[in-house]
Structure 1
Amino acid sequence: MGVHVQDASGIEGEARAVAFRLREAGHEAFFVGGSVRDRLLGLPVREVDIATSARPEEVLRLFPNSWAVGVSFGVVLVPGGRFHFDVATFREDGEYLDGRHPEGVRFATAREDVERRDFTVNGLLEDPVSGEVIDYVGGLEDLRRRELRAIGDPERRFREDSLRLLRGVRLAVTKGFSLEAGTWQALRNLAFLIGRVAPERVHQELDRIWLSSGRGRGLDLLMDSGLMGEVVPEFLALRGCEQPPQWHPEGDVYTHTRMMLDLLEGEPSLSLVWAVLLHDIGKPACFRVDETGRIRFNGHDAVGALLAGEILRRLKYSREMVQSVVRKVERHMQFMNVRSMRSGKLRLFMAGADFADELALHRADCLASNGGLENYDFVCGELAKLKDVPVLPQPLLQGRDLMALGLRPGPLFRLVLEGALIEQAEGLFADRKGALKWLADYVCSASMA
């Protein structure tokens, strides 16, 4: 099995030069892992790992500009030119005490090195000279069948390094693999072990699932394996959470959310995918049936924004990411009012920092429910009218103008300045003199109220 892929980046050429030097010094050296797998699948090779019989000190001697990044595990980072390569000594791992790292390693043979790895498709060695693939674990046949199978005992592999639980789902989704029955069963049995993994590592694997074209299948696998229940337990309540059929003929909140993932166009931002996942996370808590028998979720946007923030902070996302997702969840219901908004308020709404994402979220929300795109089309039309001018004019009033009239900084500032910007956008005043008069009149009327 083999597929020739043009090495447009030059990474394989640089990796080959590193491997040649190791071989010239009398050592074994092979390409290993994802680069071999992806080349055989006909996919671009983005990084190359090299496994060698050379001990770390020998690698450091052969490549004076390299540095040890995991010397206790036999790993040296070697610069090749534009790219850097992990060069790892063949090893066999000791006991894994923390579910992520072995307590020690023993330098070993190429075969022993392969047999301690995670999945058979990642356990292939490639001769950098001949291109021959050496397969000790049946990875070629699994690659041909597009099947992901753990090397050896799957439960042992997952207990050794529990991040492999998520990595298995990620590889299945991003590379189009099915999961071999024994590997899938072990993954389901041990899903609870993902709690041993640092949140930052968890969200890195989730990010790669969410940013792939198979994100919908990824969500299904995460739910069915039990991993989603360990990572975002709040999400489980979406299954079976009924919705009013006149607005949501597709079914429960989970079905709606799952459909939305597949309706996102192009290459959506990570914050948009998370906003889709969490935009209705507040519905189970807000579920009510009114006196007419209709299901309602009053306030689910506000409750959802709070929950979204809690979930993303727990997963150790950046402050900017949390704020971006929370803002989208908090504002997603405002689209129902766009056709009744004053023009200035609509322009203020459309000027939001993440409005392109919010509009994409709204589109998917509509298409995954009753299919009505009237509000979406209306907003697109309004944006088209403003394509040659800023959505909002440059503000004529600043906070210092409010302070000059005796107002103290606080929440009122934002409301007053937003109100002024709406009036300015609607043409109530067009220069600073008119803006200051409007402000003076506003403060006077507010003080008399």
Structure 2
Amino acid sequence: MSDARSTAVALAKRLKDAGHTAYFAGGCVRDRLLGKQPKDYDIATSAIPEQVLKLFPGANEVGAHFGVVIAKSHGHHIEIATFRTDGSYRDGRRPETVSFSTPEEDAQRRDFTINGLFENPETGEVIDFVGGREDLATGVLRAIGEPAARFAEDSLRLMRAARFAVTLGFEIEPATWAAMCEHADGLARISPERIRDEFSRMIVLPKRARALELLVDSRLIQHFLPEVLALIGCEQPPEWHPEGDVFTHTKIMLTMLENDAPLELCLAVLLHDIAKPPTQTLDGERIRFNGHDALGATMAEEILRRLKYPNDVIEAVSFMVSRHMQFMNVQQMRVAKLKRFMAEPTFPLELELHRVDCASSNGFTENLEFVKAKQTDFAAQPLIPSPLVTGRDLIALGLNPGPLFKELLEAVQTEQLEGRLLEREKAIEWVKERI
């Protein structure tokens, strides 16, 4: 028994010994039945918050209105919620009122049958009022009760449905899917931050391409990232992209990424060609996308800012998008320029983006192999070594700070990176000659 489970069992026993019903609820029950280690444990109980707080001094009442208390024990935080029935939802997120109820009624208010299961902590017996065990066994994601009502209560469930389907590899039950498509505009009531968090969890999944397909097919993506829809049917030159349109190309790239690809890389892959539709032109019979990298960086920044991503994520992704076409020139770059190109913190992710970009289209590997060989060649010393000449040196030589400073320092660094200047004294002399 895991530490978290044994802690949760002990808390549930204390509730039971005080005369209350206490079950494990939701995801921890689902995960155990799927043979997975639950990340955390939630307890549903007949005890009202006042009774829970009395049993667990020091617990936090985080949602008195909803009957939710967080109990801390042995380093674990266990959510303890009173069985309840929710009143009407007006904001597509929270019920206006709640009333404490029975396990049967509590199960009916939850989102999907696989999340509506209870478990007796002491015996392991599963209590199923909603048919969740059968849906787990057959790999079906089904809304509890009337799907449209469940999505109207909390419209973020539209996103959660797609995420659960992809995470678990389940098929979405037809009535649930129809309600998702019909009520996709419910996302308009959800904050960008909540949508972003669900989307981020999906785009890093191993089956991230399927997540994208579900979001597109349901039209959910229309409400937070509509630019992706323009990729569908955006044709590319077949000699460079025999795989098809930009959307197909992007999906293949997402599939080719490693399972544990970081968020910034997954977003960069998704958005690297986001500006191809607005830059598409026809030069005779040749399709071109001149400037799609630069415009794409701007669009990526606008999209990610709209979704309230942190600044460091926005900067990394837009920077990678801006540079993804430069790999075609690496074999012609001077050593100094190549070293500067490779010295950026995002370069390892950019290299992976380039790998899947080529592997999903023309299959060319020459530039990738060239850069990897250069990584070996340059490995003996830092790509950007300590400067031989500094601004203080230029002031000592009688120069005043200004535009010339930057030009001289960059010129010295170029000579250093090219291997023509390796000693400080010679670098100072080189600068004196230029002055």
Q: CA shift at 1:395, angstroms?
A: 2.3
Q: Which of 161, 167, 174 is 2:160 aligned to?
A: 167
SS of equivalent residue, structure 1 residue 85: strand
Amino acid at match of 1:241: C
In structure 2, how many angstroms separate the alpha carbons of the residues matched to 1:414 and 1:41?
61
Q: CA shift at 1:398, angstroms?
A: 3.9
Pick closer, same or farther for the CA change 1:382–1:72 going to 2, 3 Å: same
In structure 2, how many angstroms separate the alpha carbons of the residues matched to 1:237 and 1:439?
52
In structure 2, how many angstroms separate the alpha carbons of the residues matched to 1:344 and 1:271?
27
Give the conservation status (yes or no) of the 8 Å contact 1:278–1:304: yes
**Match for residue 126 of structure 2?**
133
**Match for residue 238 of structure 1?**
231
Q: Which of 300, 308, 317 is 1:308 aligned to?
A: 300
In angstroms, what is the RMSD of aligned CA positions?
Answer: 1.6
**Identity of matched residues, %:** 53
Give the conservation status (yes or no) of the 8 Å contact 1:147–1:179: yes
Q: CA shift at 1:71, angstroms?
A: 1.1
In structure 2, how many angstroms separate the alpha carbons of the residues matched to 1:315 and 1:401?
46
1:326-405 → structure 2 map (5 Å cutoff): 326-400=318-392, 405=399
Pick closer, same or farther for the CA change 1:416–1:161 going to 2, 3 Å: farther
User: Mind listing any 5+ residue stretches in structure 1 that lack a counterpart?
Assistant: 1-6, 445-449
SS of equivalent residue, structure 1 residue 317: coil
Q: Which of 228, 252, 274 is 2:221 aligned to?
A: 228
Pick closer, same or farther for the CA change 1:93–1:395 going to 2, 3 Å: same
1:37-52 → structure 2 map (5 Å cutoff): 37-52=30-45
Pick closer, same or farther for the CA change 1:401–1:285 going to 2, 3 Å: farther
**Match for residue 286 of structure 1?**
279
Cα-to-partner distance string for 1:298-334 (whole Å, 9 max, x where unaligned): 1100000000000000000000010010110011111
SS of equivalent residue, structure 2 residue 85: strand
Q: CA shift at 1:171, angstroms?
A: 0.5
In structure 2, how many angstroms separate the alpha carbons of the residues matched to 1:413 and 1:251?
49
Give the conservation status (yes or no) of the 8 Å contact 2:23–2:120: yes
Pick closer, same or farther for the CA change 1:36–1:391 going to 2, 3 Å: same
Amino acid at match of 1:267: D
Q: Which of 394, 400, 412 is 1:406 aligned to?
A: 400
Give the conservation status (yes or no) of the 8 Å contact 1:348–1:422: no
Q: Is residue 2:401 matched to residue 1:425? A: no
Q: Is residue 2:335 matched to residue 1:322? A: no
Which shows bigger deviation, 203-212 or 30-39?
203-212
**Match for residue 255 of structure 1?**
248
**Match for residue 49 of structure 2?**
56
Q: Which of 5, 16, 20 is 2:13 aligned to?
A: 20
**Match for residue 101 of structure 2?**
108
Pick closer, same or farther for the CA change 1:229–1:435 going to 2, 3 Å: farther
**Match for residue 209 of structure 2?**
216
SS of equivalent residue, structure 2 residue 104: helix
SS of equivalent residue, structure 2 residue 58: coil
In structure 1, how many angstroms separate the alpha carbons of the residues matched to 2:408 and 2:323?
20
In structure 2, how many angstroms separate the alpha carbons of the residues matched to 1:413 and 1:129?
74
Q: CA shift at 1:433, angstroms?
A: 3.2
Pick closer, same or farther for the CA change 1:180–1:51 going to 2, 3 Å: same
Cα-to-partner distance string for 1:334-371 (whole Å, 9 max, x where unaligned): 10000011112111111111110000000000001111
Pick closer, same or farther for the CA change 1:256–1:440 going to 2, 3 Å: farther
**Match for residue 299 of structure 1?**
291
In structure 2, how many angstroms separate the alpha carbons of the residues matched to 1:439 and 1:209?
54
In structure 1, how many angstroms separate the alpha carbons of the residues matched to 2:432 and 2:318?
35
In structure 2, how many angstroms separate the alpha carbons of the residues matched to 1:305 and 1:413?
30
**Match for residue 179 of structure 1?**
172
Q: CA shift at 1:414, angstroms?
A: 6.1
Q: CA shift at 1:195, angstroms?
A: 1.7
User: Mind listing any 5+ residue stretches in structure 2 that lack a counterpart?
Assistant: none
Which shows bigger deviation, 262-271 or 216-225?
262-271
In structure 2, how many angstroms separate the alpha carbons of the residues matched to 1:244 and 1:402?
51
**Match for residue 145 of structure 2?**
152
Q: Is residue 2:51 matched to residue 1:65? A: no
SS of equivalent residue, structure 2 residue 325: helix
Q: CA shift at 1:77, angstroms?
A: 0.4
Give the conservation status (yes or no) of the 8 Å contact 1:359–1:376: yes
Pick closer, same or farther for the CA change 1:287–1:28 going to 2, 3 Å: same
Amino acid at match of 2:150: R
Q: CA shift at 1:418, angstroms?
A: 4.4
Pick closer, same or farther for the CA change 1:194–1:402 going to 2, 3 Å: farther
Number of paired residues? Answer: 433
Amino acid at match of 1:217: R
In structure 1, how many angstroms separate the alpha carbons of the residues matched to 2:384 and 2:17?
66
Cα-to-partner distance string for 1:380-411 (whole Å, 9 max, x where unaligned): 111012233222212234455567623436xx
In structure 1, how many angstroms separate the alpha carbons of the residues matched to 2:389 and 2:303?
37
In structure 2, how many angstroms separate the alpha carbons of the residues matched to 1:191 and 1:377?
45
In structure 2, how many angstroms separate the alpha carbons of the residues matched to 1:419 and 1:155?
65
Q: CA shift at 1:10, angstroms?
A: 1.7
Give the conservation status (yes or no) of the 8 Å contact 2:205–2:259: no
Give the conservation status (yes or no) of the 8 Å contact 2:49–2:68: yes
In structure 1, how many angstroms separate the alpha carbons of the residues matched to 2:406 and 2:125?
66
Give the conservation status (yes or no) of the 8 Å contact 2:206–2:258: no
In structure 1, how many angstroms separate the alpha carbons of the residues matched to 2:54 and 2:333?
70
Cα-to-partner distance string for 1:250-298 (whole Å, 9 max, x where unaligned): 00000000000011124111000000000000111110111x3101111
**Match for residue 71 of structure 2?**
78
Pick closer, same or farther for the CA change 1:230–1:437 going to 2, 3 Å: farther
